[in-house]
Each structure stands twice: as structure tokens, then as C-alpha cells.
Structure 1
């Protein structure tokens, strides 16, 4: 069972059946997450493109696997103790820090593009992560991903990353697994023999920026 709604707020959701598994409330003017405490079976929650400033009132959503909060006004990560989430999007918010994901060890996909993040941190415990998107932030280096041995897609484009050698050292754990990497619009992507160097780092790479390899 799923529910898609147009709302100015979440008031009234308390009357929705507690068997609901998917709730879509994107592209509205919702300012507060509320009246969803009883939705214990909820697996997907979509609240993108609203006016949310705070992540709250989700502690009872213990079966939640996908949380989509892109295009809001959130400044701080607060997953309310949830540990089963597999897909999480906080793209286009106002985050300055990546702290707050440490206990989400089931995470497989994490989308954090278009924020103000200056440092990669809090990632070392996310050993199931397959997709990491931190493009369009304020990163100058790649950090805290050495343990991510399942990583397949890494989006780092549109930052201020200086060193390809630093990328190589940081991604040592996923060197064999990584198939896609985006580094364009970083200083390091302007270096001589950029594509050849990246292909040497990651022997099974299939795509670097817009370049696709057989």
C-alpha cells in the first residue's frame, strides 16, 4: 500500500492506516515532519522539494529503507536512531557537515550533492555503501572512504579536489570494485593524462565523467 499526497503540512496523517508502506509527499510546502509515529511498517518516505528545516519524529519508523529529503532547508543530519535505511537523499539542502550517518550501517546509496560540505567524514562504518554522491560541495580532498570496499559509483565532481594521488589513496578499498567515478570540474581533472591516470588507479572502471569505456 502506498499514498501520494499534496499537502501544506503533515497534519491529518495520523488517520492514515498503520499498514502503509510507501508515503510520497514531495513538491509541497511542508515545514514539519509530524503525525507519522504510527506508521511502523513504512518502508519508503518521500518528502523532497518541501520546506523542511529539521529531521525529526522518525524514531518509530524502524522498517524505513528509503528516505528522500532532497531540495529542502535541512542544516543538520538527524536520523533519529534509524539504522535500517538503505537509500538516503539529502541533495540540495544546507548541510555543512556529514556527521550523523555513522550508525546507518545498512546504507547502500547516499546522495549529498549541492550542499556546503567541506570535509568527508562519518563514512568509515558504512561498509555496505555502493553509491556515494558528494558532488557540488566544497571538498578539497577525499577522506574516510578507505573501508568502503563495496563502493561502485563515486561522484566527486564540481568540488575543489586538488590531488589525483589523494583520490587513489582514499579509495584504496574500492579500487577493484569501482566502475563509475565523476571528477570533472575539480583542479585534479585538469592534470596531464587525467583519464589514463584514473584508469590506472581503478582497473575495472567503466565510466569517468562522460567518457565510457568498454
Structure 2
């Protein structure tokens, strides 16, 4: 008889729990130590949030990358007040069609919703202005909107979407990397970005490189 998979912990307190690539349909067989600061659930088959995560007061990093979460399944996270100290939230490669409400996370530094089916950046206006890295690549986004308050941004990834215009970048005085490859952009407009070090614009519809000297 095959015994169900169960994570075995060392005697010392566990603060980092890597539970990736197990193809788990749920977390019923996984113990979640109360002092966790980093929970990595990458590459499983999760489609429902485990309510035990909501009481991990010390959690700083949470990754649901490459799972099966849709909009309704991920919605409860927006009311998990115990996780207000979360600094990194990874929802990359799921089944989302919209930006989830992450307004409760006032210390968020990294937010990743790449490789979903998101059609609009609407909802990002609720996101904390503390975010330094925002990843929304490989979606269906058509407009750069609701991001102008993110003045701490250092990395912005919007590659492989349906963007036509570079806009609402004027407040990004700390932005160092801008990734906009594989869109439908025709004109370069850096909006006065002063700290930019890397910019990706390959596979767009550019007819001129005018604007890169801005």
C-alpha cells in the first residue's frame, strides 16, 4: 500500500517550507508550522486556498506559482488580515483573468501575476505603493493603467501582452528595468525616466528608435 506523501521536518523550528513540484491537489498532508516566513508551493495542482495559511502571522514570502487557481479561488486572500506583513506574493502561471485585490498587503515588495489570462490592470490601484517589482508578462493586457502610484518600482515587466502605447510612466523615478517586448507598441515614450538601465522592446511594431535618447 502506498502511503500518502507527508512532509517531514527536522527537530529545529522551520521557518522556510519548500513544498514545490509535488503535484499536490491540496495541503491536507502538509504541516504548516506557525513560524513560517517563506512558503513555496510552486508546481502543484492546488485550486483552493488552505485556510491555515491565513493565520501564519510571520509569513513574508508566499508562492502559488504554477497551480490551478482561478479568480474565485484566490479571492479570500484579500481578507487575510494576519498576512499584512507579506512582502512577496507570486501567483504566476495560474488561471486568473483579473488582478486580485492585494490592497491589504501594505508592505508588499514583489507581486507576480505573469502567465495568466488577465485582460486589464484594473485593480492595481489598490496595490501598495511599496511594490518594487511588478510582473504581469504573458497576459492579455491592452493598457498601462492604475500603476502611476507605484513610485517605488524598480522593475516593471509587461512583455507579451497587447499594449499599443507606452504611458503612465512619469512617476517611476526609481525604475531601472522596463520589459515591454512582444507587444504592439509603435512609438517609444520613456516619459522622462531618469534611472532606467535596461529596456526591452523587441518584437513590437516600432518604425523608429526615436525616444530612446529621452
TM-score by length of 1: 0.83
Query: How many angstroms apart in 2 are the aligned matches of 1:119 and 1:132?
Result: 14
Give the aligned partner of residue 46 of structure 1.
Answer: 63
Pair 1:18 & 2:34 matched: yes
Bigger drift between 42-51 and 93-102 goes to 93-102
Count, aligned residues: 189
**Any residues of structure 2 matched to 1:66-85 within 5 Å, and which?**
66-78=88-100, 79=102, 81-85=104-108
Partner of 2:3: none
Runs of 4+ in 1 over 3 A off after TM superposition: 10-13
For the residues of structure 2 that align with 1:20 and 1:82, how far apart are their CA atoms? 17
Q: Helix, strand or coil for the counterpart of 1:45?
A: strand
Q: Cα–Cα, structure 1 residues 82 and 12, in superposed 2: closer, same or farther, change >3 Å?
A: farther
**2:203 aligns to what?**
185
Which structure 2 segments of 5+ residues have no match?
Answer: 1-14
Q: Does 1:154 align with 2:172?
A: no
Cα distance in 2 between the residues matched to 1:32 and 1:100: 21
Deviation for aligned residue 1:99:
1.7
- Following TM superposition, by how much is the alpha carbon of 1:8 offset from its aligned partner in structure 2, in angstroms? 1.2
1:105 aligns with 2:129: yes
1:16 Cα deviation after fit: 1.7
* TM-score between the two structures when normalised by the length of structure 2: 0.83
Maintained 8 Å contact 1:91/1:113: yes
CA distance in 2: counterparts of 1:10 and 1:141, whole angstroms: 43
Q: Aligned residue for 2:156?
A: 132
Q: Distance in 2 between matches of 1:137 and 1:86?
A: 23
Shift of 1:12: 5.5
